[in-house]
Amino acid sequence: MSKLTDLTIAEARDGLKKKAFSAVELTEAHIQSVEKARALNAFVTETPALARAAAAESDKRIASGAMRPLEGIPMGIKDLFCTKDVLTTAGSHILDGFKPPYESTVTRNMFNDGAVMLGKLNMDEFAMGSSNETSYYGPVINPWRRKGSDTKLVPGGSSGGSSASVAARLVMGATGTDTGGSIRQPAAVTGIAGIKPTYGRCSRWGIVAFASSLDQAGPMARTVRDCAIMLKSMASHDPLDSTSVDLPVPDYEAAMTGNIKGLRVGIPKEYRIDGMPAEIEALWQKGIAWLKDAGAEIVDVSLPHTKHALPAYYIVAPAEASSNLARYDGVRFGLRVSGKDITSMYENTRAAGFGREVQRRILIGTYVLSAGYYDAYYIKAQKLRTLIARDFEEAYARCDVLLTPTAPGPAFGIGEKTDDPISMYLNDVFTVTVNLAGLPGLSVPAGLNSEGLPLGLQLIGKAFDESTLFRVGEVIEKAAGATPRPQSWWEV
């Protein structure tokens, strides 16, 4: 039997039901994994005591035949989700000591379904980053390495702790959030699956806000099916979130029939960017071939405003963030640095508490909203969003899903792109359009490149059609073959 930590959520669910092992055993195995993997720096806070207690409870329920959908499954929670009475930092110094007196709706849903929390996962500070290098708690290291090299690589971001911990088998699944690609891009560069659901599918209540009109919570796991299982528990209509949509949550697993005959797959030509690395183009072609083989119809489509998405994103997201982060002021929670008066206290606290990237984005955001610039920047960017959303609507008249690469390259070295913010921003070139339009996007592991590093393919769907994404995603996943476990260099 393979190690307990190698199981997928679907397999573990089966195993627990059949009593092949207990929830406590399953959790214990993962706690060991976590303790041995501190070199990855994936966790900000480990919660073994809570995990053991939850696992024991799960065993009781399994014994009494009252198994819930995520019963006993060891999970990691991105540190952006407020977890009751457990330190929640958002990867930032400014939330030092913050223990929320409330639970986010998404994590409450998961714990109500029996999930076991192993701890809070490291992330880019306030979800601002694509490499998990902006965290106050230090970078997360990708468990994957280039063949024959021991260069430390980034796990993607901002959900870097989530992707690394899932890939390294420290947890069976993890929550992430995605504002411009922060679930999909890290999933792609660590060889796992991750989905950003349609905006409004998962509640944002209790998730530290970055950019309110773009943020969305989603699952990250080793297989597409596991993501479907997790999403079913995470998603809900939440009356506490005015942007939460009142639609029933479908049985996503049931939609994974394996049959995509006649499905129209759109290939947007504008995603073929200048300087696109050959291996990414090749991957894309492979994906097209796999889907064609499975009976899908391939359709060329155009999303003309694609190239304006990144700049529009880097206006809207910082603008909303500059307002959302105004509450971090040292008055009611977190770090306080004293000052001679209230203004100095605010200024000193925020200067000490926020890292460089966060400060930069707050300043950009403040500037683009300020008098005289609002129309030229913010309104302009919001108009681009309308155009981008319209592009997708028109494309969806001719196809059912879109296939694109997830990221413009594999994992890069830690420190390689930190000098130039814009080169870092370009990591999101394939993913941001999806957040701007509010649509769902799934990254599927699609094999390893010549250096042995994972690459991913992205499927973009119609609003609230995550079912189709899971169905098509599984086809790609099967065609690509299972992604191997990264060879451990990190265990002590």
Partner 1 sequence: MVTTRTETGPLIDGATGKWEIVIGMEVHAQVLSKAKLFSGASAEFGADPNAHVSFIDAGMPGMLPVINRFCVEQAVRTGLGLKAQINNSSVFDRKNYFYPDLPSGYQISQYKQPVVGEGIVLVDLPGGKTIEVGIERLHLEQDAGKSLHDQHPDQSFVDLNRAGVALMEIVSRPDLRSAEEAAAYLKKLRAILRYLGTCDGNMEEGSMRADVNVSVRKPGGPLGTRCEIKNVNSMRFVAQAVDYEARRQVDIIEGGGTIKQETRLFDSKKGETRSMRSKEEAHDYRYFPDPDLLPLEFDDAFVARIKASLPELPDDKKDRFMKDYGLGSYDAGVLVAERESADFFEQVSRGRDAKLAANWVINELFGRLNKEGKAVGESPVSAAAMGSIVSLISDGTISGKIAKDVFEIVWTEGGDPAAIVEMRGMKQVTDMGAIEAAVDQVIAANPQKVEQAKAKPSMAGWFVGQVMAATGGKANPQAVSELVKKKLGI
Partner 2 sequence: MSVDKETVRRVARLARIAVPEERLVPMAGELNRILAWVEQLNAVDTSKVEPMTSVVKVSLQMREDAVTDGSRAPEVVRNAPAGEDNYFAVPKVVE
Cis peptide preceding 158, ω within 30 of 0 = yes
> Shortest gap between Cβ of 134 and partner 1 (angstroms)?
18
| Catalytic residue list contains 78 | yes
> Shortest gap between Cβ of 208 and partner 2 (angstroms)?
14
115 by DSSP, 3-state: which?
coil
Q: Count of CB atoms within 10 A of residue 5's CB?
A: 19
Q: Are 9 and 230 in contact (CB under 8 A)?
A: yes
Phi, psi (deg, nearest 5) at residue 195: -125, 135
For residues 310 and 31, what is the distance between their CA atoms, to the nearest angstrom?
39
Q: Are 105 and 206 in contact (CB under 8 A)?
A: yes
Q: Which of 78, 120, 232, 462 is labelled catalytic?
A: 78
Pick the piece of the chain touching partner 1 (CB under 8 A) from 12-20, 62-70, 206-214, 394-402: 206-214
**Residue position matching structure tokens 């009252």:** 66
The site map against partner 1 for 100-119 (x = CB under 8 A) is xxx-x---------------
Closest CA to 456 of 280, 276, 225: 280
> Shortest gap between Cβ of 243 and partner 1 (angstroms)?
7
Which amino acid is residue 456, in one-letter code?
G
For residues 159 and 6, what is the distance between their CA atoms, to the nearest angstrom?
21
Q: Are 157 and 57 in contact (CB under 8 A)?
A: no
The listed partner (partner 2, partner 1, none) that binds 438, CB under 5 to 8 Å by sort, is partner 2
* Residue from 137, 284, 346, 425 in contact with partner 1 (CB under 8 A): 346
Q: Does 358 bind partner 1 (CB under 8 A)?
A: no
404 by DSSP, 3-state: which?
strand
* Residue from 371, 375, 419, 450 in contact with partner 1 (CB under 8 A): 371
Helix (H) or strand (E) holding 321: helix 309-324
The listed partner (partner 2, partner 1, none) that binds 311, CB under 5 to 8 Å by sort, is partner 2
**Residue position matching structure tokens 């506490």:** 240
- Give the count of residues interacting with partner 1 (CB under 8 A): 42
Strands 74-78 and 116-121: parallel
Length of the chain: 492
**Residue position matching structure tokens 């990867």:** 91
Q: Which of 22, 58, 158, 467 is labelled catalytic?
A: 158
The site map against partner 2 for 341-360 (x = CB under 8 A) is xxxxxxxx-xx--x----xx
Closest CA to 78 of 188, 155, 152: 155
* Residue from 27, 58, 88, 165 in contact with partner 1 (CB under 8 A): 88
Complex with partner 2: residue 257 or 343, whichever CB lies closer: 343
Complex with partner 2: residue 377 or 490, whichever CB lies closer: 377
Q: Does 136 bind partner 2 (CB under 8 A)?
A: no
Q: Which of left, alpha, beta for 436 (phi over 0: left; psi -120 to 50: alpha)?
A: alpha
Q: Are 174 and 162 in contact (CB under 8 A)?
A: yes
Beta bridge partners of 266: 299, 402
Complex with partner 2: residue 5 or 130, whichever CB lies closer: 130
Beta bridge partners of 45: 120
> Shortest gap between Cβ of 374 and partner 1 (angstroms)?
7
> Shortest gap between Cβ of 425 and partner 1 (angstroms)?
21
Complex with partner 2: residue 306 or 404, whichever CB lies closer: 306
The listed partner (partner 2, partner 1, none) that binds 387, CB under 5 to 8 Å by sort, is partner 2
| Catalytic residue list contains 450 | no
Binders of partner 2 in range 195-254 (CB under 8 A): 199-200, 213, 239, 242-243, 245-246
| Catalytic residue list contains 158 | yes
77 by DSSP, 3-state: which?
strand
The site map against partner 2 for 274-313 (x = CB under 8 A) is -------------------------------x--x--xx-
Straight-line distance from the first to the last Cα atom of the chain, in angstroms, rounded to the nearest whole number: 23
Q: Count of CB atoms within 10 A of residue 221's CB?
A: 28
Q: Count of CB atoms within 10 A of residue 280's CB?
A: 23
The site map against partner 1 for 377-396 (x = CB under 8 A) is -x------------------
**Residue position matching structure tokens 């955001």:** 365
Instruction: Kindly calculate the radius of gyration of the chain based on its CA atoms and give it in whole angstroms.
Output: 21
Pick the piece of the chain touching partner 2 (CB under 8 A) from 203-211, 283-291, 377-385, 476-484: 377-385
> Shortest gap between Cβ of 102 and partner 2 (angstroms)?
8
Catalytic residue set: 78, 158, 182
Under the rule (CB under 8 A), what is the footprint of partner 2?
97-99, 101, 199-200, 213, 239, 242-243, 245-246, 305, 308, 311-312, 314-315, 322, 326, 329-336, 338-348, 350-351, 354, 359-360, 362-364, 366-367, 370, 373, 376-377, 379-387, 389, 421-422, 438
Which stretches of the chain bind partner 1, using CB under 8 A? 82, 88, 90, 95, 98, 100-102, 104, 204-209, 211-213, 239-243, 319-320, 322-323, 326-327, 329, 331-333, 342-343, 346, 366, 369-371, 374, 378
